[in-house]
């Protein structure tokens, strides 16, 4: 059962800095941190104290609103410090790792056994181990609510954004973990589990294309054909009251690893890319969850001021090198902070700076790759041009009316116009191409937060 979707709207930005396909390991160095603050809008209560020793998989904290949803340590060691933020919110738990292979062990499952495991058992196991947090839910892209069964589950195996890791590379050699994870997902919904892959990958069969018990769907076209919102829109759109659950292939692999081995996975495979990373260092690195970014990026960055983005160049958070590998991270794009000023740059016929608009000469150069920095390349203005954004959004969404509804806080209209089908990352290309330098992602994010708060 295979469906094929050809996406026309969108844009593949010809960006330099694409990664190669090597995977190297970075040894653990320094302390390891767990960041409860990365689970946005979720509050935790500490269950351990400074000075305690914890096992790998030992309990650190639990969710305030769900007693059985725990936060566990990726490594064994001693808790050095618990950092609190505003209103005593838990920010960071710093652990000094020890060499001892001191592991908390959990129930193990078999690949085929998982097909018969009761849903409730799986869910409570995932919550107990904290890996439930890898399963997210639409609308609103929040941690899935285990008490509401989703109508379907979407696994994203695509990487159209600049740059995200290649799921096919991540899954290589992990047949059992992949299938165990997917089998577990089939138990969590009465509907189908959709695995969405790039059509180009269908030519060379591998573990993902041959995955069993799920519906493999192929999407073709420019970014954001690889965004989960796109997949949901074409396969099983979210209607009012519906929920669907979403994961990435890397998440499925981690869940599979836990279920088969009975141990909390302590490493993550992370992509390093972007022209702020030296060409030879671009690629996947295997590193310990929570270790500091400076240790991973040591010697990998170009000279000069750079920006580390947790995510991709089109949508991600800025990270400081002193911070660590978040539980959700799957890669970092590093870009040079570009503060250079260009003489008469606003009308100079540039061929060095990429534009999707035909009014800039560089847009006529086909096949050329461009370097990107973080410069705004213009100043913020009122929204003047209209009707140019829709061709960058493959969902049935009209961007102009939606953003107007959002700006005027008309949540009712925003919902009618389809905001619940979207995630702010879906509007990143609109932000990118906007001549008035408007941040559409931020506008949509604000309204989504408002709707989530008020209910609908």
Partner 1 sequence: MNKDLKETIESKHKEIEPLFHKGGKFEKFFPLFEAQDPFALTPPDVTKGHTHVRDAVDLKRVMFTVVVALIPCLLWGIFNAGYNYYHYSGIEANPFMILFRGALIVMPIVLTSYIVGGIWEVTFAIVRKHEINEGFLVTGLLFPLTLPPTIALWQVAVGITFGVVIGKEIFGGTGFNILNPALTARAYLFFAHAKDMTGDVWAKFRYFDPELGKYVDGKTGATPLGLGASYGGQAADVTERLSSDGFSLATIFGGLMPGSIAETSAIPILIGAAILIVSGVGSWKIMAGGVMGLLGTAILMNFLPSGVVGDVTLTTWTQVPFIYHLFMGSFLFGIVFMATDPVSAAQTDMGKWIYGVLIGVVTVLVRVTNPGFPEGVMLAIIFMNVMAPIIDYYVVRGHIAKRNAYLRKFSYAKG
Is 356 near partner 1 (CB under 8 A)? yes
Give yes or no for a contact between 132 and 123, defined as CB atoms under 8 angstroms apart: yes
Asked whether the CA dihedral 299, 301, 304, 307 is positive or negative, the reply is: negative
The contact pattern for partner 1, residues 78-117, with x = CB under 8 A and - = no contact, is ----------------------------------------
Beta strand spans in 41-122 (E): 44-46, 53-54, 59-63, 70-72, 77-84, 90-97
Tokens of 49: 């104290």
Q: Which of 422, 424, 447, 451 binds partner 1 (CB under 8 A)?
A: 424
Q: In terms of CB distance, is 123 or 333 closer to partner 1?
A: 333
Asked whether position 16 contacts partner 1 by CB under 8 A, the answer is no
Contact (Cβ atoms closer than 8 angstroms) between residue 78 and residue 52? yes
Copy the structure tokens of residue 14: 């010809």
Query: Which residue of 390, 407, 410, 452 would you call a contact of partner 1, by CB under 8 A?
Result: 390
Least CB distance from residue 418 to partner 1, whole Å? 6
Sort strands 23-25 and 44-46 into parallel, antiparallel or unpaired: unpaired
Rounded to the nearest angstrom, the gap between the alpha carbon of residue 420 and the centroid of all alpha carbons in its chain is 18
Contact between residue 305 and residue 336 where contact means Cβ atoms under 8 Å apart? yes
Q: How far apart are the first and last CA of the chain?
A: 35
Q: At closest approach, how far in Å is the CB of 417 from partner 1?
A: 7
Phi, psi of 337 (to 5 degrees): -75, 110
Least Å from the CB of residue 158 to partner 1:
19
Exposed/middle/buried for 173, CB within 10 Å: 0-12, 13-18, 19+?
exposed
**How many whole angstroms separate alpha carbon 184 and alpha carbon 114?**
6
Q: Is 151 in the site for partner 1 (CB under 8 A)?
A: yes
Site for partner 1 in 290-329 (CB under 8 A): 307, 309, 311, 313-318
Closer residue to partner 1, CB minimum distance, 200 or 450:
450
Q: Please choose, out of 65-73, 203-211, 289-297, 338-346, the segment that lies near partner 1 by the rule CB under 8 A.
A: 338-346
Q: Indicate which single residue of 347, 367, 454, 455 sits in contact with partner 1 (rule: CB under 8 A).
A: 347
Q: Residue 453 half-sphere exposure, CB side, CA atoms within 13 Å?
A: 8
Whole-angstrom CA distances from 124 to 121, 190, 325, 394 are 5, 18, 26, 37
Among 23, 398, 407, 449, the residue binding partner 1 under the rule CB under 8 A is 398
- The residues near 355 (Cβ < 8 Å, ≥ 6 apart) are 362, 363
Give me the 437-456 binding string for partner 1, x by CB under 8 A, dash otherwise. x-x-xx--------------
**Total residues in contact with partner 1, by rule CB under 8 A:** 75
Closest C-alpha to 229, from 246, 204, 211: 246
Report d(CA 300, CA 293) in Å as an integer.
11
User: Which range, of 19-27, 96-104, 296-304, 376-384, touches partner 1 by CB under 8 A?
Assistant: 376-384
346 in contact with partner 1 (CB under 8 A): yes
Question: What is the rounded distance in angstroms from the CA atom of residue 183 to the CA atom of residue 280?
Answer: 37
User: Does residue number 401 form part of the binding site for partner 1 (CB under 8 A)?
Assistant: yes
Quick one: which of 344, 453, 454, 455 contacts partner 1 (CB under 8 A)? 344
Nearer to partner 1, 68 or 412 (CB): 412
Told to check if 412 binds partner 1 by CB under 8 A, we report no
Q: Which is nearer to partner 1, 177 or 423 (CB)?
A: 423
38 touches partner 1 by CB under 8 A? no
Q: Which of 40, 87, 88, 341 binds partner 1 (CB under 8 A)?
A: 341
Question: Among 384, 453, 454, 455, which residue interacts with partner 1 (rule: CB under 8 A)?
Answer: 384
The token pair at 90 is 């838990």
Binding mask 227-266 for partner 1 (x = CB under 8 A): ---------xx-x---------------------------
Paired sense of beta strands 59-63 and 70-72, if any: antiparallel
Please state the closest distance from residue 84 (CB atom) to partner 1, in A. Answer: 26
Q: Which stretch binds partner 1 (CB under 8 A): 108-116, 179-187, 323-331, 422-430?
A: 422-430
Task: Give the span between the Cα atoms of 26 and 376, in whole angstroms.
Answer: 34
CB of 254 to partner 1, least distance (A): 24
């Amino acid at each position: 059962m295979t469906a094929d979707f050809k996406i026309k709207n969108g844009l593949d930005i010809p960006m330099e800095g694409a990664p190669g396909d090597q995977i190297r390991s970075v040894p653990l160095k320094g302390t390891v941190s767990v960041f409860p603050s990365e689970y946005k809008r979720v509050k935790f209560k500490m269950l351990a104290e400074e000075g305690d020793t914890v096992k790998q998989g030992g309990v650190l904290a639990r969710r305030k609103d769900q007693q059985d949803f725990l936060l566990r340590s990726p490594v064994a060691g001693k808790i050095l410090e618990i950092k609190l933020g505003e209103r005593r919110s838990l920010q960071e738990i710093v652990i000094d790792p020890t060499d001892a292979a001191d592991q908390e062990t959990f129930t193990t499952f078999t690949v085929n056994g998982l097909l018969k495991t009761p849903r409730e058992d799986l869910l409570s196991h995932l919550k107990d181990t904290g890996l439930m947090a890898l399963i997210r839910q639409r609308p609103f892209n929040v941690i899935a609510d285990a008490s509401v069964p989703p109508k379907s589950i979407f696994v994203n195996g695509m990487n159209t954004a600049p740059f995200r890791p290649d799921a096919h590379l991540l899954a290589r050699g992990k047949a059992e973990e992949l299938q165990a994870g997917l089998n577990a997902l089939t138990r969590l919904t009465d509907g189908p589990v959709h695995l969405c892959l790039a059509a180009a990958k269908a030519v060379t069969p591998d573990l993902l294309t041959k995955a069993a018990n799920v519906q493999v769907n192929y999407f073709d076209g420019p970014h954001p054909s690889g965004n989960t919102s796109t997949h949901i829109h074409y396969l099983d759109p979210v209607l009012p009251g519906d929920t669907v659950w979403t994961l990435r292939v890397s998440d499925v692999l981690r869940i599979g690893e836990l279920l088969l081995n009975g141990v909390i996975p302590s490493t993550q495979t992370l992509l390093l890319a972007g022209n702020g990373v030296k060409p030879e260092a671009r690629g996947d690195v295997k590193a310990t969850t929570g270790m500091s970014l400076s240790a991973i990026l040591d010697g990998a960055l170009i000279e000069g001021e750079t920006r580390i983005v947790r995510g991709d160049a089109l949508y991600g958070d800025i990270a400081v090198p002193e911070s660590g590998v978040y539980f959700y991270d799957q890669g970092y794009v590093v870009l040079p902070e570009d503060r250079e000023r260009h003489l008469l740059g606003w009308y100079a016929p540039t061929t060095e700076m990429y534009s999707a608009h035909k009014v800039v000469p560089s847009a006529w150069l086909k096949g050329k790759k461009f370097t990107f920095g973080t410069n705004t390349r213009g100043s913020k203005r009122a929204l003047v041009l209209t009707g140019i954004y829709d061709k960058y959004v493959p969902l049935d969404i009209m961007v102009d009316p939606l953003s107007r509804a959002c700006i005027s806080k008309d949540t009712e209209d925003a919902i009618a116009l389809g905001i619940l089908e979207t995630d702010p990352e879906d509007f990143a290309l609109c932000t990118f191409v906007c001549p008035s330098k408007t941040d559409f992602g931020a506008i949509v994010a604000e309204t989504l937060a408002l709707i989530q708060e008020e209910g609908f």
